[in-house]
A and B are shown apart, each in its own frame.
Chain A
Amino acid sequence: MRNNSVRAIALAAALPLVALTACTTEPSVTQTTGAGTGSPATNGAASSPASKDWFDQSLYDTQNQQRSATFEGDPQKPYLQYIAGPMTDTSKYAAKGAKKVCFANASISNPWRQTGWITMNQQLKVLKSSGVISEMETRDAKDNDNTQIADIDYFIAEGKCDAFVISPNSTAALTQAVERACQTGKPVVVFDRGVETKCPTTFIHPIGGFAWGIDTATFLSDKLKSGDKVVALRILPGVDVLEHRWAAAKKIFAEKGIQAKDYFTGADPTEIKKIISDELATGDVKGVWMDAGDGAVAALEAFEDAGKPLPVMTGEDEMSFLTKWKQTGITAMAPVYSNFQWRTPLLALEKIFKGEQIPTEWVLPQKPILADELDTWLKRNQGMPSGHYAKFGGEDLPGYPQVWQQRQMP
């Protein structure tokens, strides 16, 4: 009995500790992790989602309209298309000769960023041989805000950069570092995730997370009945691009009476499979919603292993999902967070050095892959590895298709 009382005391003593640690998981500005989309959770210091409402009605409405907007430019080159809007005059940057570009990258820690990184390097080769860019110095922040701030300051201090390309790790934390880069008077191109300043020469991104959420949740709601259960698999909390996807989807599910239950998976297939197995044990799951396609195959396998009918599903344009979709013949769609945006920053710099006008906010097309296009996209990407993204947009670049097939990180 005395043993027990000791344990009880220890338990009682430790409980406040647990409560304390729970309270300290507030959103931390300097430690927010994850970059771009589909980031497999890294240092785990992501902020608490419950305390912040990510839903933004005006942004939701804007992106909802942009889903059906017309894009300027050649549809064969979606990485150069944009929605008409305010333009930046870059004539002051016009200059002759090859320039040095400095790239502060958030990370290449997930398949989406890896695919983009390969495409960007092939684009770089083209611009090097055409004499636009002399070299690109890259610093990889490995999903860490502090590292990326130091990287940008290093570039500024070094003073040899003719232009900056920044793919921010997180929005708030990188704002000041980006402003410092702007103060050097050199062109600054920000892409993927934004910062809270208007100073960059251009900010390149696909339509956004709300559009993704609207596309996917509308699809699932149309295919399912009110009252059906949908499991939402989310990579990690606190990353705006991902939170916007869920915020929009959650709203639509609630409106349509779909029961949606969300989980964080860190893109770990083990975790995904456990979650689905547990959910299947509690009742039928009719749909699966994902905020990024990484791990979609594991989710479907969980249904197969449990001997349950396969769900209606939204994944992403990652090859593993497209292939499994084709094999199983499920009702599905693949939302796209346009991977070809990795080409655009360098092409934007080419225009800037020519002094051409470019969009101040460069909104790229973001068109999901629907069932009728599945075969086309599978055919276009035949032989690509499972982590490859179908809409990578580099078919006309040198090294296609071997470079993407071999998938060696530059």
Chain B
Amino acid sequence: MSTALNSGHSAILKQNRASRSERLLRALRTPGGAIFILLIILLAAIIVLNPSFGEPGSFIRFIGRTAPIAIAAIGQYFVIVGGEFDLSMGSVVTMQVIVAGNLIRQDDAKVIPVLVLMLVLGAFIGLVNGLITTLLQVPSFIVTLGMMLALLGLVLYWTGGAAQGNPADSFRQIGRGGIQNVPVLDIIPYPVLILTAVAVTAFVLMRRPFGRMLIAVGDNPAAAALAGSRVWWVRTRAFMMSSLSATLAGILLVGYAGVHPSVGHGYEFTAITAVVLGGVALGGGRGWVLSAAAGAFALESLFTLLNFMGVQATWRDTVQGGIIIVAVAAASRSWQRKRKGATASAHDDQHQLAPTPTPAEGTEQGGERV
């Protein structure tokens, strides 16, 4: 396993690491890694059933249309890994869709101001969710459930339950258009670019102090507080990111599908399912952000597969429910095993090789400056 004995902390750390392939294998055996295998199997199955799905042009469109739910799943991930829930996500989507439809109408000049307003609204809802949960100590399940109803009621009051129609086409281009005439792919939908940007940002964020703290808070808020992190602010920011991602999903959906009061219906549960399917532990503290996005893709692929197989749409909810149960059961079992030290023993022989490792700053072993 080890190649050479060098002096210096980083060398010791490097030497204590398993080989790249072994780490990859180990990662794939966690629920967060297994989701990628599941995703590949599902996509392969779809392509076998319907080869034209695998053509670059239609595949990129599939990614494009899955982007909103993947973005929502990434947002939900922040809240869940921090140990909370965000049930208001779906009605934030609905509200933003109606806001876009009713405020922009056919006026191109209003696109930018309304876009800004929507983002501010999104951040504000997240802030309210977060502050009530953390400062008033109301369980997030209740806070966001209340927020969900409040927003839906507000939308109903404001619109009478009916939208005024689709907003200007320039606004809808964000979710519907793309870069045309690209070789091989034919089109790169804007949602794909936005999803990529969100995924990269989320990935980086989770490796920054904020991300580390969020996981610590989700795992053990008391310990995190004792260690000096401001739990309330970490969690509140997670709620704001969730609402902002719902806003982004709403913007994409207005473009993709148009304005309808049913857009966003059930989005919170799809997002939570995706996150859970991505192996993120409900209750917080464990899971990878990109696995959550992969969970969203797996879920959509599964439904597309069921479509191609001719499975009746009435079954979908049942499938979704079944997946939640199976995934949570599997995930909690393997995380438990990890905690009991099943994986720690695998490291034992390596520990003997090295002197007491002093954590180096800025590495995975610790020493994070907070």
Contacts and interface: CB of A to CB of B under 8 A. Distances in A.
Interface of A: 2-4, 6-7, 10-11, 13-15, 17-18, 21-22, 25, 40-41, 44, 46, 48-50, 108-109, 111, 114, 237, 261, 263-270, 272-275, 277-278, 281-282, 294-295, 297-298, 301, 305-306, 320, 385-387, 407-409
Contact of B29 (A4, A25, A266): A4
B333 interface: yes
A17 B160 contact: no
A278 B260 contact: no
Contacts of A108: 161
28 contacts: A3-B334, A10-B330, A21-B321, A21-B322, A22-B315, A25-B318, A41-B262, A109-B161, A114-B162, A263-B307, A266-B262, A266-B265, A267-B262, A268-B260, A268-B265, A269-B257, A270-B253, A274-B304, A277-B62, A295-B260, A297-B258, A301-B258, A385-B164, A386-B165, A386-B166, A387-B162, A408-B160, A409-B161
Contacts of A49: 312, 314
A148 to B, nearest CB: 18
B263 interface: yes
B162 A278 contact: no
B265 to A, nearest CB: 6
B329 interface: yes
A44 to B, nearest CB: 7
Q: Is the interface of B mostly helix, strand, loop or mixed?
A: helix
B10 interface: no
Contacts of B165: 320, 385-387
B361 interface: no
B65 A274 contact: yes
A25 B163 CA distance: 32
Given A278-B304, A385-B164, A407-B162, A6 B262 contact: no
B196 interface: no
Nearest to A305: B176
A80 to B, nearest CB: 27
Contacts of A44: 317
Interface residues of B, number: 49
Contact of B162 (A22, A267, A385): A385
Contacts of B304: 274, 278
A407 B160 contact: yes
B36 interface: no
A40 B261 CA distance: 9
B225 interface: no
Nearest to A264: B313
> Which of B29, B161, B308 has most A Cβ within 10 Å?
B161
B318 A18 contact: yes
Nearest to A319: B165
Closest 7 CB pairs of A and B: A409-B160, A18-B322, A269-B257, A386-B165, A10-B329, A264-B313, A7-B330
Nearest to A8: B330
A408 B262 CA distance: 19
A40 B307 contact: no
A237 B304 CA distance: 20
Contacts of B207: none
Contacts of B160: 114, 407-409
Given A14-B322, A114-B162, 6 more contacts: A6-B337, A41-B262, A111-B162, A114-B160, A269-B257, A282-B308
Interface stretch (B50-58, B129-137, B212-220, B287-295): B50-58
Contacts of A10: 326, 329-330, 333
Contacts of B52: 281-282
A213 to B, nearest CB: 19
A369 B161 CA distance: 26
Contact of A281 (B58, B256, B329): B58
Interface in B255-282: 256-258, 260-263, 265
B260 A3 contact: no
Nearest to A279: B307
B137 to A, nearest CB: 31
Contacts of B325: 14, 17-18
B29 A21 contact: no
Nearest to A295: B260
B342 interface: yes
Contact of B314 (A14, A18, A237, A306): A237
A298 B165 CA distance: 12
